[in-house]
Structure 1
Amino acid sequence: MIPRLLFACFVLIPFTAGTAVADSPGEIKNVVMIVADDLKASVLGCYGDNVCATPHLDRLAREGMVFRRAYCQGTWCLPSRISFMFGRYQDKQNVTLGQHLQRHGLSSTRVGKIFHMRVPGDIIAGTDGQDHPECWSARFNSPGPEAHTPGEYACLNLNVVTRDLENRQSTRMPHRMFVSVKGDGDGREQPDYKSASKAIELLEQPHDRPFFLAVGLVRPHYPMVAPSDYFDPYTIDRINMPANWHDDTSDIPKLGIANTNNLKNSIGKYPDNQKRMWAAYYASVTFMDRQVGRILDALDDSPHRDQTAVIFTSDHGYHLGEHGFWQKSNLHEEVIRVPLVIRAPGMPSGQTDSIAELVDLYPTTCELVGASVPPAAEGTSLVPVLADATATVKSAAFSFQNGISIRTSRWHLMRYRDGTEELYDMDNDPGETENLAGDDRFADVLTALRKRVDQRKAPGR
């Protein structure tokens, strides 16, 4: 557990744009890729959140390159994970990343959730989900009790709080998305603790060849479970709901309205419970961050440190009340923007505004370890940006859900399959509160972005 006094020592250290030269260059042979689940970039300290304690990811950010404009291609777990593990925007017409690296002499090991697993279903059962076994030379699942963890259970949209282990919302149940548990234990029974422990065990073992180690953590995906001490700092008086919490959605097309929202779900009846959703999300993020720290400490104490690149990211972001929306499967900024931090030996640290896509992780990993990039891989290597934070490898990111989103450095266009659209000036309206798609002043912008969307569409879509 985290001692309560430790939270008093967390200090948000400011990050500056540009780069700092790395201390000791080394040949990169290995990659450790850590993937969180449903993690929005904006809640991390290194992305500007002043409430959520993420000291270990903040440390990684100081040592690596922070991509402030990184975007997923799929807006929920299954399509997103397929995209970055196959290196394709919307299909599987490539070999998996792990399979390709094995062909180049690396071992490829999965710990936890990398391809899609049902959370909580596959986690409780300890099953593989929709894994691709050809991707791995070894793989390990990390089962856990999830909502059935002993402790204070809450189903916040039903306004239920109990310690009773019976009748809890769990696998395939309709209200599982609003569940939190303040666990009685120290977290050792939780899947992320087990995944970190297995990763540590693997890092401490001798390796007779280079390795790709992919560690999939399931928090902060619901149910938001963590030891109770992790909840203590996040009292609702510390929670400020997003500025666009009560945003008028009358100018958002039907296909742009999240399926779970305050008008359709009973969470809208409980303003304080909406803050408790944030508090539970923060608690599970901090618990996840602690597991990342354990993995980083083990790597740094191992002989592999100077030859191992670390990639941290998430499959997609998450709505926590923005526009009155909840969850994912949506093209707005809080869902498509993801954290991405890469620490590569011999590369400078810093922050970059260069646009990145998760589909870029495939060719980036290949280039870092000296493997060829298959012609079928659609992403672009981010290694030039790792070497120079001012470099640019692409001018836009694309995401897919009921249509296509194109995100440039300034503009965000969502074009839905029925022809309706949203357009936002992200420099002046980062909360996406004024849809400019019907404003004649931006006709030229729309024309240019529509052209790029049409070029991105695959035949038959």
Structure 2
Amino acid sequence: QAITRELLLTGNDQLVDAELAPVRRDFRPPADGQLPVRNVVVILMESFAGRFVGALGSGEGITPNFDRLAEEGLLFSRFFANGTHTHQGMFASMACFPNLPGFEYLMQTPEGGNRFSGLPQLLSARAFNDLYVYNGDFAWDNQSGFFSNQGMTRFIGRGDYVDPVVADPTWGVSDQDMFTRAAEELGQLDRGKPFYALLQTLSNHTPYALPEQLPVAAVEGHGALDQHLTAMRYSDWALGQFFDKVRDQPWFEQTLFVVVGDHGFGAPEEVTEMDLLRFHVPLLLIAPGITERFGSHREVVGTQVDVVPTIMGRLGGEVRHQCWGRDLLSLAADDPGFGIVKPSGSDQTVALIRGDRVLVQPKEQPARLYRYRLGREPAGERLAAAEDRPQLLRQLYAYLQTATASLLANTSGDRERDAVPLASADGPTEPPRTPSQARKASEG
């Protein structure tokens, strides 16, 4: 717990209820970090891999609209998904909880019934209206159950579209249908009260439900990736259309837009045996005054669990939360940032990313430390010896153990009456890898 708290708490945090919850704190963002916004729109982009984003160094021309938007906002170049499936991107970005070994399908487990200190909880307490617009069926991955339990109330899914451009029997409607409906719904939400919304794309996912007449040129020359990159280019086009529609709306200049990929996908290159390119995604913040205050580019490392604290820092005001991330825009200048990631499913490899290095811990094998490079020519270089390797390993184990114990004790949200105090750990050991192992660890 002490190691985890040292990782997460900054000079703007004051730990509270230390005997009950591991990272509950009062966060007081710097006054000069607040932006003149009252609304929040999070756009979770399906399979929006950083490797193929022009603003992050790609030369393939897949994302001209995102690249144009990046010129008016703040882009994070070392940002990563916590997992490699969409549902992990959902709960990490909105519920502020990491992807843990043994709980990769959190939204479908009993522990997913917990309340988490995420955007729905924090902004519902401030009387924000809410909206979730999605192409597909909210029954998938228990999205409706999970997010209803977190506090969201307004859902627009595949059965709510009239005469969509695409009506695919597997996935639902196209991204342009989703964004068109989202623009309409957001205009109706602008009725005096502040609002937050989650808009989630889907077209860039097999079997790629795209219009017969594509509004963009098909991608060629990338072999097996051609169809995937064509779908990504189409999603990028739909994103651009959305911003063109809403830019003149009265609520636009009062809104913080957060555009983030849910995960990446494999590329010809492979960065470490866990392949960071499957995790590397863009994070783009667009809001009035953001570039004047924070600039247009940041290299600090972050993951999706940092999204909620970063949003709360821009809204301003003290907030009590227990997110497993930090406000990326109120860190000390010499803080390189960190992130802990894990692939989906049965692969129990975990990794700690810090600055330009990544410590990869495969199951029952020695950890390996790399220096990595992203952008146009991504690569990884094995570091045979490093003085801080033991410290990085302790931090990785501590974070995973503490988060797992908190999940099992239900002390990561606002339902505390049934919670039990957390057992303290004597030191770093193997991180829990299955629910049964995790429960044994949390029991001491």
Contact 1:114 1:214 in 2 (8 A): no
Question: Residues 20-419 of structure 1 correspond to what in structure 2 (within 5 A)?
Answer: 27-89=36-98, 90=100, 94-112=116-134, 118=140, 131-134=146-149, 135-142=151-158, 190-205=173-188, 206-227=190-211, 230=214, 233-234=217-218, 236=220, 238-239=221-222, 275=223, 277-323=224-270, 331-348=274-291, 349-370=295-316, 372-384=318-330, 391=333, 395-401=337-343, 402-419=348-365
Contact 2:51 2:58 in 1 (8 A): yes
Residues 223 and 449 of structure 1, relative CA distance in 2, 3 Å threshold: same
Q: Shift of the alpha carbon at 1:382?
A: 2.6
Q: Shift of the alpha carbon at 1:113?
A: 6.6
Kindly report structure 1 stretches of 4+ aligned residues shifted beyond 6 Å.
113-117
1:27 aligns to what SS in structure 2? coil
Number of matched pairs: 345
What is the identity, as a one-letter code, of the residue corresponding to 2:341?
Answer: S
What is the identity, as a one-letter code, of the residue corresponding to 2:129?
Answer: S
| Rounded Cα–Cα distance in structure 2 between residues aligned with 1:105 and 1:94 | 17
| Rounded Cα–Cα distance in structure 2 between residues aligned with 1:84 and 1:408 | 19
2:387 aligns to what SS in structure 1? helix
Contact 1:410 1:427 in 2 (8 A): yes
Q: Give the alignment's Cα RMSD to 1 decimal.
A: 3.6
Residues 116 and 339 of structure 1, relative CA distance in 2, 3 Å threshold: farther
Q: Shift of the alpha carbon at 1:88?
A: 2.0
Per the normalisation by structure 2, the TM-score is 0.68
Residues 339 and 419 of structure 1, relative CA distance in 2, 3 Å threshold: same
| Rounded Cα–Cα distance in structure 1 between residues aligned with 2:241 and 2:85 | 27
What is the identity, as a one-letter code, of the residue corresponding to 2:298?
Answer: T
What is the identity, as a one-letter code, of the residue corresponding to 2:238?
Answer: Q
Contact 2:216 2:233 in 1 (8 A): no
Contact 2:47 2:265 in 1 (8 A): yes
Residues 143 and 427 of structure 1, relative CA distance in 2, 3 Å threshold: same
1:220 aligns to what SS in structure 2? coil
Residues 367 and 286 of structure 1, relative CA distance in 2, 3 Å threshold: same
2:296 aligns to what SS in structure 1? strand
Aligned residue number for residue 409 of structure 2? none
1:280 aligns to what SS in structure 2? helix
| Rounded Cα–Cα distance in structure 2 between residues aligned with 1:235 and 1:315 | 22
- CA deviation string 1:426-447 (max 9, x = no partner): 15997456544xx3xx153533
| Rounded Cα–Cα distance in structure 1 between residues aligned with 2:136 and 2:82 | 15
| Rounded Cα–Cα distance in structure 1 between residues aligned with 2:277 and 2:93 | 19
Residues 415 and 116 of structure 1, relative CA distance in 2, 3 Å threshold: farther
1:60 aligns to what SS in structure 2? helix
- CA deviation string 1:365-416 (max 9, x = no partner): 223223643332221113337xxxx946553211124132111222111102
| Rounded Cα–Cα distance in structure 1 between residues aligned with 2:66 and 2:166 | 28
Contact 2:136 2:202 in 1 (8 A): no
| Rounded Cα–Cα distance in structure 2 between residues aligned with 1:150 and 1:396 | 40
| Rounded Cα–Cα distance in structure 2 between residues aligned with 1:73 and 1:143 | 30
- CA deviation string 1:57-88 (max 9, x = no partner): 11210010010001122232223321222112
Q: Shift of the alpha carbon at 1:111?
A: 0.4
| Rounded Cα–Cα distance in structure 1 between residues aligned with 2:173 and 2:122 | 31
What is the identity, as a one-letter code, of the residue corresponding to 1:29?
Answer: R
Gaps of 5+ in 2: 1-33, 101-105, 107-113, 406-431, 433-444
